[in-house]
């Protein structure tokens, strides 16, 4: 089992919920209106007057054999709309209850 942490522009939210489900990953937790700044490129998402946009984040539980397909999908989505911003990290899950 793996977890995929995704930080993304809020415009992606509904699409990502559908996409993750269609890719066979059912479990997720989402946070709305998170703030941050990417480590590579992109504008800050601070929800302020100067930087009014905000981001969302999602923690997706995924079986090992699905991870590569999900990450490839996320990479393609980010490449298709680079101005919005999307980053994802795969994290090993050692135990669940």
* Cα distance between residue 54 and residue 46, in whole Å: 6
The whole model's pTM is what?
Answer: 0.90
Mark 19-37 as b/e (b = at least 16 C-beta within 10 Å).
ebeebebeebeeeeeeeee
pLDDT tens-digit map of 32-56: 999 888 777 777 778 788 887 889 9
pLDDT tens-digit map of 17-35: 999 999 999 999 999 999 8
| Domains defined along the chain, listed by start | 2-90 (3.30.70.120)
Structure tokens at 68: 């590569």
């Amino acid at each position: 089992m793996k977890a995929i942490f995704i930080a993304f522009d809020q415009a992606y939210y509904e699409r990502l919920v559908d996409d993750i489900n269609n890719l066979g990953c059912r479990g997720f937790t989402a946070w709305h209106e998170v703030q941050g700044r990417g480590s590579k490129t992109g504008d800050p998402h601070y929800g302020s007057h100067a930087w009014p946009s905000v981001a969302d984040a999602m923690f997706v539980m995924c079986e090992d054999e699905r991870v590569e397909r999900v990450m490839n999908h996320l990479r393609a989505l980010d490449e298709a709309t680079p101005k919005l911003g999307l980053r994802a990290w795969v994290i090993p899950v050692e135990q669940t209850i």
